[in-house]
Structure 1
Amino acid sequence: LAPVAWVDIAPPADVALRAWTTIVIHHSAAPVGDPAGIDRHHAVERKWDGIGYHFVIGNGRGMPLGRIEATFRWRRQSHGAHAGDEAVNQHGIGICVIGDFEQAPPDPRLADRLADLCAALIARCPALAVERIVGHKDVKASTLCPGAHLDLGTLRAQVRTKLAARLAAIESAP
């Protein structure tokens, strides 16, 4: 999979980038899924105004492996409905990775894609930092999300490596 380019995830040019401060990682807690199914669940079961996340990343079961879909919340730069904490929902980017990582770790290609997305967001959003990548359970203690097998320390290390590579590429450009 090609690295995530800002042009692929940027909100529309006429929409101002929100002052994001945190990236909140979630898993879908199901082995199969897609944004439309999550949107229906959030709208019908939870009575929200649609999908609560800003991005969904596919695991190859329900949507292609590594495919990143930006939801209406990202395209409009509107608050999330994913963290269980109003302040975090206001300034936290919610990323849902399809899979149940309480049962098994994510495919390495999927974990790499998540790190790519986080690095792309941190590179463009001034208040974001690697240290501000958290799991849903770090915000809402009553959940196990994003699961025991999605290691946030490893994710942060991968993101640091990707950010360093981006910087090196910029510095070596003619």
Structure 2
Amino acid sequence: MAEALPSLLLVDDDATYRERLAKAIAARGFEVRTAEDAEAAVALADADSPEYAVLDLRMPGESGLDLLRRLMAIDPTTKVLMLTGYGSIATALEAVRLGAVNYLTKPADVDDILAAFSPERPVSETSPDLETPSLARVEWEHIQRVLQDCDGNLSEAARRLGMHRRSLQRKAARRRPSR
């Protein structure tokens, strides 16, 4: 009888990233199921609780933290990794407090993701970006988040941020500040 592969639930609203990551994880010996949002993920976990889960923090509807709570209620033995493009110490601590085994910021490759499930690697070793970010970086990430929420509409984002459209355009065009 063939040995069953470990199961992994991958939840990310970015379809291209989700499918590419799913293929790479499956190539490393996992049975991968994917979901684009919290509701689809809960339905999959209710049907067959995964051994591992990789959750995106920011998704339309429920956040990854909300989904983490729900998955832990279904099966507290599921090893959950939070993955986000908007890393912060506060969300990392909250994720770990809620039961995540680790927290990584995007971009993270498949080897980093799978290694993050190892109990020998605490959050501080796998996520160097969780150091206190500079004010420039926090501002840049906030601008990017608001732009994403506005579907790239600069005028709407400028209105929400209370700044002139041209100022926002200049700040948004800059490269992501390091630390």
TM-score scaled by length of structure 2: 0.29
Larger C-alpha radius of gyration, 1 or 2? 2
